[in-house]
Amino acid sequence: MAEGLATGRAFELPQEIMRQMLHEFMLVSEEEIMQAMVWLLERAHTLAEGAGAASLAAAYRLRNELQGKKVGIVCSGGNASLEQLKKVLAFAGG
């Protein structure tokens, strides 16, 4: 569902930047990603691919910790295939 996050190999510069700057990361499930895609479709009328919706999925999981705070989330990429979109719509019950 989030192929855009995958990489075939690690690159030295991004790995070094992450070692220095990344404080935390979170893995989200396919179901959480599909739910985020549904929310974006329903509420923002935006089609984001799975990789683009992953940040919203993570923020939703942290919603209690983020409540009352200003939060910016990048949701990008409209490269969802027709098959992925069908899967997301079936997940949503449509």
Q: Would residue 34 count as lying in a domain?
A: yes
Angle at 84 between CA 79 and CA 52, to 5 degrees: 45
Look up the domain containing 82 and give its range: 27-92
Residue type, 66: L
pLDDT tens-digit series, residues 3-51: 888 778 888 998 899 899 988 889 999 999 999 999 999 999 999 999 9
Q: Would residue 3 count as lying in a domain?
A: no
Sequence-distant (6+) residues with CB within 8 A of 52 are: 4, 74, 75, 76, 77, 78
Q: Would residue 42 count as lying in a domain?
A: yes
Q: Is the pTM of this model over 0.75?
A: yes
Q: Please state the domain count of the chain.
A: 1
